[in-house]
């Protein structure tokens, strides 16, 4: 089964209630408005990707730096092919991982996608999300939807609708509630404009998975002479209002200070608040929500266990490092 068919099947799981919300959302998108909606990674703040004014209001609402480009969300491979110049690597990855948490960066059709959407670059990132509401919203609108995470720039990404209502609810006409998101960390961003694929941001699709699909070596930014980076990685991200420090379970503070612990194993010291996850997947899924909750817990500092660097663990570690500002 291929990407398009998987997307069609996914859309069929939409409930009646969700269909009504999607219809409202599609009308807003077509008018150039903003809609917050769930994907399988985090919630997005979406607008018509081809309408520069609509896209400008995403940046304004989030306070996002204008040179940080957006990911264009599509509901079919054909829709992607109208935006970016697809190559063999892209076809292989789309058919393998779409719909799913993988954004591919390719040369853009500059006359089609406004510079505002792509941060003035001559490339663009496209992705087919694996969530019925998101796919249906794109399909019903009939246009690619540009969507960053639906939070104020720099804050942890929202993984449920309530977080958005509280943070930016007053500024946007519609938040579609689809419950908690499945992955909890954003998509993998992979650059396919060169000879080798380069991971610009780790996410739900790991390096090993990409290498298996391409039968070729996939590079990390540090593997190259000319450092290719996602513009977004220049900025502080995912930051909780409390200081956050990363450490191993055995290296936690021994004092009785007012600290919180998050991780998959017990800390050596005695925290005021302890949040333990079953495994790395749950740690990733719950990270952003937990950081926001701990802000209200009365603790003064968060210690977070460094996860294993495998699978989703590398995406989780990346988010933790950024959240800590390290």
In terms of Cβ atoms closer than 10 Å to its own Cβ (0-12, 13-18, 19+), residue 17 is: exposed
Residue with tokens 């940046």: 59
Q: Which of 14, 56, 121, 324 binds ligand AMP (CB under 6 A)?
A: 121
With respect to ligand AMP, which residue has the nearer C-beta, 125 or 294? 125
Contact status: 200 vs ligand AMP (CB under 6 A): yes
In the bound complex, what is the minimum distance in angstroms from residue 231's beta carbon to ligand AMP?
4
Cβ nearer to ligand AMP, comparing 21 with 186: 186
- CB of 89 or CB of 275, closer to ligand AMP: 89
204 versus 267: smaller Cβ distance to Mg ion: 204
Q: Taking CB under 6 A as the rule, does residue 231 contact ligand AMP?
A: yes
Given 4, 163, 230, 252, the residue binding ligand AMP (CB under 6 A): 230
Contact partners, residue 47, CB within 8 Å, separation at least 6: 29, 32, 33, 34, 35, 54, 55, 57, 58, 145, 146, 147
Binding mask 14-53 for ligand AMP (x = CB under 6 A): ----------------------------------------
Nearest partner of 246 among 229, 262, 226, 270, judged by Cα: 262
Asked if 232 touches ligand AMP (CB under 6 A), the answer is yes
Cα 2 from chain centroid? Answer: 23
* Residue 104 interacts with ligand AMP (CB under 6 A): yes or no: no
The least distance separating ligand AMP from the CB of residue 239, rounded to whole angstroms, comes to 14
Q: Which does 68 bind (CB under 5 to 8 A by kind): ligand AMP, Mg ion, none?
A: ligand AMP
> Of 120-128, 169-177, 204-212, 314-322, which part binds ligand AMP (CB under 6 A)?
120-128
Closest listed residue to residue 200, CA positions, set 168, 233, 177, 171: 233
Q: In what order do the strands lie in the sheet with 188-191?
A: 174-175, 35-38, 43-48, 145-146, 71-73, 123-127, 102-107, 188-191, 198-201
Token pair for 66: 């204008």
Least Cβ distance, residue 69 to ligand AMP (angstroms)? 4
Single out the segment in contact with ligand AMP by CB under 6 A; choices: 12-20, 132-140, 204-212, 228-236: 228-236
> If binding is defined by CB under 6 A, does position 201 make contact with ligand AMP?
yes
48, 75, 123, 181: residue in contact with ligand AMP (rule CB under 6 A): 123
Q: Which does 69 bind (CB under 5 to 8 A by kind): Mg ion, ligand AMP, none?
A: ligand AMP
Nearer Cβ to ligand AMP, position 51 or 149? Answer: 149
| Interacting residues with ligand AMP (CB under 6 A) | 68-69, 71, 105, 118, 121, 123-125, 148-149, 186, 189, 200-201, 230-233
């Amino acid at each position: 089964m291929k990407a398009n068919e998987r997307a069609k099947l996914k859309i069929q799981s939409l409930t009646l209630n969700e269909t009504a919300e999607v219809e409202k959302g599609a009308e807003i998108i077509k008018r150039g408005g903003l809609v917050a909606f769930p994907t399988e990674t985090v919630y997005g703040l979406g607008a018509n990707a081809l309408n520069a004014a609509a896209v400008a209001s995403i940046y304004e609402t989030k306070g996002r730096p204008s040179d940080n480009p957006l990911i264009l969300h599509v509901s079919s491979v054909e829709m992607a092919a109208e935006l970016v110049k697809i190559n063999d690597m892209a076809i292989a990855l789309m058919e393998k991982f779409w719909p799913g948490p993988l954004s591919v960066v390719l040369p853009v059709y500059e006359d089609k996608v406004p510079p505002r959407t792509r941060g003035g670059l001559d490339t663009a990132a496209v992705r087919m999300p694996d969530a019925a509401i998101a796919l249906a919203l794109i399909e019903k609108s009939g246009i690619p939807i540009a969507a960053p995470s639906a939070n104020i720039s720099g804050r942890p990404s929202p993984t449920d609708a309530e977080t958005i209502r509280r943070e930016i609810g007053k500024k946007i006409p519609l938040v579609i509630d689809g419950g908690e998101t499945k992955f909890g960390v954003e998509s993998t961003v992979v650059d396919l404009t060169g000879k080798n694929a380069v991971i610009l941001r780790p996410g739900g699709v790991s390096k090993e998975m990409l290498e298996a699909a391409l039968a070729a070596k996939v590079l990390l930014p540090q593997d190259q002479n000319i450092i290719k980076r996602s513009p977004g990685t220049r900025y502080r991200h995912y930051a909780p209002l409390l200081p956050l420090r990363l450490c191993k379970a055995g290296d936690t503070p021994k004092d009785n200070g007012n600290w919180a612990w998050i991780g998959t194993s017990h800390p050596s010291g005695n925290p005021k608040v302890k949040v333990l996850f079953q495994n790395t997947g749950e740690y990733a899924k719950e990270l952003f929500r937990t950081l926001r909750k701990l802000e209200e817990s009365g603790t003064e500092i968060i210690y977070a266990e460094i996860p294993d660097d495998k699978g989703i663990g590398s995406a989780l570690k990346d988010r933790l490092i950024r959240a800590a500002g390290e």
